[in-house]
Structure 1
Amino acid sequence: PLVNGLEFQDILAHKGYRQPIIFLTAHADVDMAISAFRSGAADILKKPVSSEILLEAVERAVESDFAFRQKDFRIVRYQEFYDALTQREKQILNSVNAGLMNYQIAQRLGLSERTVETHRANAYKKVGVKDLQQLKEFLSHVDI
């Protein structure tokens, strides 16, 4: 009772709550709406609101939140896969990502080209990529 909806939204955000928020208000103005959306509101509905419109807003918010959480989970998994690589596999993947060919990596690391190929194949399998494009996508989501 001592805070308005925007203040409550900020409190929740500072505490780490990431659930979608739908504002129901009788007195919305443009500044309030902009502030709410910038802070992550899923929707703003003006009272009185029909049950149909409210349920549609909840459905959109749940679908959006689910998609966000799936993406977030995937990124955590990517990091776990990357962290499970050996140091040599990480060196080789990062070199491949930098555009180096197997023979160039072998020269730089003092390895045979066949050893580089083996480490590269093992690393690709561990992180679940099949080609350079997938590797670049994967590495764009991890802390190297």
Structure 2
Amino acid sequence: MTTDATVFVVDDDQAMRTSLQWLIESTGMSVQTYESADVFLASYYPGRAGCLLLDVRMPGMSGLELQSYLAREGYRLPVILITGHGDVSMAVKAMKAGAVDFIEKPFHDEDLLRSIRRALEDDQRQRAGQAARADIAARLAELTPREHEVMAMVTDGKSNKDIAAALGVSAKTVEAHRARVMEKMRADSLAELVRMALIAGADGPAVR
């Protein structure tokens, strides 16, 4: 779990905010509390590591509405929803919208802490994946248009001979392009190059 991760608690009940802050800080985790969704949005900036612990029913923007807003804006902060008025349909809606968990008051402290740890682990894995995709994207940007073509066909399983025929060049030229692709992508094997193409392709076309 990353040491700079923060549990952001949004609840209009001051006593609940204080109780949650004490509980979470007692485990060594960092906590910041907010009395409303608007106050949270005014201070949060995208990219901060952590998770969001939301009360469902609050004056103004509700927890579910804040969850939906963050999703629309592309914020990938894991969300845990808590409420004293939950029902099955609300829980299903929250989970379908991507919530890590939905916890109804009163809850056991350890159940909540377990959900928070899972959310922070999800956030850490997600950030590691984003960093890997950004690194691969930077390497892809170094390729020429022809090298992109060669990489696409290589990672599609085509032989040098097939690539040469498709591009109207010699097999020796394909070998040269392929070597430069491997060098620029810093790939030690074809399997690693394919893995990079798959990772890059998760956010769009791996190669042009």
Residue 154 of structure 2 is matched in structure 1 by: 96
Offset at residue 32 of structure 1 (A): 0.6
The farther-off stretch of 11-20 and 57-66 is: 11-20
Q: Say if 2:104 is the partner of 1:67.
A: no
Q: Which has the higher helix share?
A: 1
Q: Which has the higher strand share?
A: 2
Structure 1 residue runs of 5 or longer lacking an equivalent are none
Report the TM-score, using the length of structure 1 for normalisation.
Answer: 0.84
The farther-off stretch of 89-98 and 131-140 is: 131-140
User: Identity of paired residues, percent?
Assistant: 37
- Would the alpha carbon gap of residues 19 and 98 (structure 1) be closer, same or farther in structure 2, given more than 3 Å must change? closer
The farther-off stretch of 14-23 and 107-116 is: 107-116
Alignment of structure 1 residues 1-144 onto 2, 5 Å: 1-140=59-198, 141-142=200-201, 143=205, 144=207
Secondary structure at the counterpart of residue 195 of structure 2: helix
Q: In the comparison of the two structures, how many residue pairs are matched?
A: 144
- Compute the RMSD of aligned alpha carbons: 2.0
- Map Cα deviations across residues 64-102 of structure 1 (whole Å, 9 max, x no partner): 111112112212222221121112211211222333211
Q: 2:169, 2:73 → 1: CA distance?
A: 50
Structure 2 residue runs of 5 or longer lacking an equivalent are 1-58
Offset at residue 59 of structure 1 (A): 0.9
The structure showing larger relative contact order (alpha-carbon pairs under 8 Å, at least 6 residues apart) is 1
Report the TM-score, using the length of structure 2 for normalisation.
Answer: 0.61
- Would the alpha carbon gap of residues 130 and 36 (structure 1) be closer, same or farther in structure 2, given more than 3 Å must change? same
